[in-house]
């Protein structure tokens, strides 16, 4: 049996390990927190710092394959492992580009992939030189995630909110839709493309409230998005699963925002909504099996379950009974003991042929299920 190691033990690692149970594989996981969501689902748990060179190298050197569930890992150790013949998926060279938003943007520009125009800045003070470039979005080079590390700089007054570190200042796009396309690349370069996902904003609450798959896109926008996503991933020359996040605008343009070189929140609906889930697909890639079918079995909506505002402490799931009594819904709780405002604690997938029903149930779930503390 192949020995496969995962760096990081959050919910992505958890769902990956839930699927691993269906495959002939011996799983290893490295993570600092022995109570992390994925920790008890692996065969071998190794407590360790995934950003530390020695820890990652020691973890990986006796394995067949190493993968990640988060970008913030020690890339130098992965490079050494790859040089020594361990299969590292995604390839460390791809990870190195993606980990740093400056390198990522330069990569898109170099490969002529449409992405919002940008300048590179090194300090907050430097933003003063780019007042004519505003309105823009300032994105820190290293270490940002889930919107942390992103600041909107509309006018000169907002410059104080900028980052005093290497960063990208990117032209603000008037976004029509935010979409994501997940692409699977096998070790021999075959690809499988998932249908696009629409990340919907609630116009009243103005919060990202749910995802819908497949996204409702004009045909020309759909083909543009697919072409951009494929080209952006192919040029990385790496196998793995890649989530390509894009913006569309009112003129029908498609702009690449960013790539994640791993399973992604925008693919969770694929567990129930598609023939082969993103997690199943990654195991097929890691273990050299044929790629699976990405087609939609049934349209789906996904509601992220995040820690409610004003509650911090031991998590409690209010309304779980009511939601579990609904038809065609699938609840995934991530097993995090502590909640805090905005923390991703789980998700609920709804499947239905009828888009109105998807939206109706998504709203019903948002108004029923809350993660609070005792």
How many residues are recorded in the chain? Answer: 374
Q: Which of 48, 114, 149, 166 binds ligand ADP (CB under 6 A)?
A: 149
Cβ proximity to ligand ADP: between 255 and 279 the closer is: 255
Could you tell me which residues come within 8 angstroms of residue 161 by beta carbon, excluding any fewer than 6 positions away? 138, 151, 152, 153
Region of 6-14, 104-112, 147-155, 301-309 interacting with ligand ADP (CB under 6 A): 147-155
Is residue 346 classed as helix, strand or coil in its secondary structure?
Answer: strand
Residue nearest to ligand ADP (CB): 173
Binding mask 230-259 for ligand ADP (x = CB under 6 A): ---------------x-----------xx-
Token digits of residue 21: 């149970």
The phi, psi pair for 283, rounded to 5°, reads: -65, -40
Residues 174-213 that bind ligand ADP (CB under 6 A): 175, 178
Q: Is 12 in the site for ligand ADP (CB under 6 A)?
A: no
Cβ proximity to ligand ADP: between 146 and 354 the closer is: 146
Nearest to 261, CA basis, from 78, 144, 94: 94
As to burial, measured by CB atoms within 10 angstroms (0-12 exposed, 13-18 middle, 19+ buried), residue 365 is: buried
Contact 244, 229 (CB under 8 A): yes
d(CA 337, CA 74): 27
Q: Is 31 in the site for ligand ADP (CB under 6 A)?
A: no
Q: Which of 82, 172, 291, 296 binds ligand ADP (CB under 6 A)?
A: 172
Nearest-approach distance from CB 145 to ligand ADP, in angstroms: 5
Q: Is 146 in the site for ligand ADP (CB under 6 A)?
A: yes
Q: Which residues bind ligand ADP (CB under 6 A)?
A: 116, 137, 139, 144-147, 149-150, 170, 172-173, 175, 178, 245, 257-258
């Amino acid at each position: 049996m192949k020995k496969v190691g995962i760096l990081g033990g959050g919910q992505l690692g958890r769902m990956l390990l839930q699927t691993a149970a269906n495959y002939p594989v011996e799983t290893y996981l490295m993570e600092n927190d022995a109570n992390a969501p994925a920790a008890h689902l692996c065969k071998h748990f190794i407590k360790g710092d995934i950003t530390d060179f020695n820890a990652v190298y020691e973890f990986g050197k006796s394995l067949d394959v190493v993968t990640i569930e988060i970008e913030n890992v020690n890339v130098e150790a992965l490079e050494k492992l790859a040089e020594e013949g361990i299969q590292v998926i995604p390839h460390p060279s791809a990870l190195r580009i993606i980990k740093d938003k400056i390198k990522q943007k330069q990569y898109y520009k170099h490969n002529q992939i449409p992405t919002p125009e940008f300048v590179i800045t090194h300090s907050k003070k430097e933003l003063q030189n780019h007042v004519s470039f505003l309105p823009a979005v300032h994105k820190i080079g290293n270490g940002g995630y889930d919107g942390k590390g992103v600041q909107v700089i509309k006018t000169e007054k907002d410059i104080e909110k900028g980052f005093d570190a290497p960063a990208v200042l990117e032209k603000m796009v008037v976004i029509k839709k935010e979409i994501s396309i997940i692409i699977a690349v096998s070790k021999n370069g075959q690809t499988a493309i998932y249908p696009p996902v629409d990340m919907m904003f609630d116009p009243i609450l103005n919060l990202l409230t749910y995802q819908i798959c497949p996204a409702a896109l004009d045909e020309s926008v759909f083909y543009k998005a697919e072409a951009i996503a494929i080209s952006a991933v192919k040029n990385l020359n790496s196998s793995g699963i890649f989530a390509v996040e894009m913006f569309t605008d009112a003129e029908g343009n498609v702009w690449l925002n960013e790539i994640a070189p791993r399973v992604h929140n925008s693919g969770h609906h694929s567990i129930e909504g598609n023939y082969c889930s993103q997690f199943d697909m990654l195991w097929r890639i890691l273990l050299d099996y044929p790629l699976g079918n990405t087609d939609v079995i049934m349209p789906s909506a996904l509601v992220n379950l995040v820690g409610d505002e004003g509650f911090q402490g031991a998590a409690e799931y209010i309304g779980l009974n009511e939601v579990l009594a609904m038809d065609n819904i699938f609840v995934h709780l991530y097993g995090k003991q502590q909640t805090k405002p905005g923390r991703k604690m789980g998700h609920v997938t709804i499947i239905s042929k009828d888009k109105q029903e998807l939206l109706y149930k998504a709203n019903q779930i948002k108004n029923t299920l809350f993660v609070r503390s005792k």
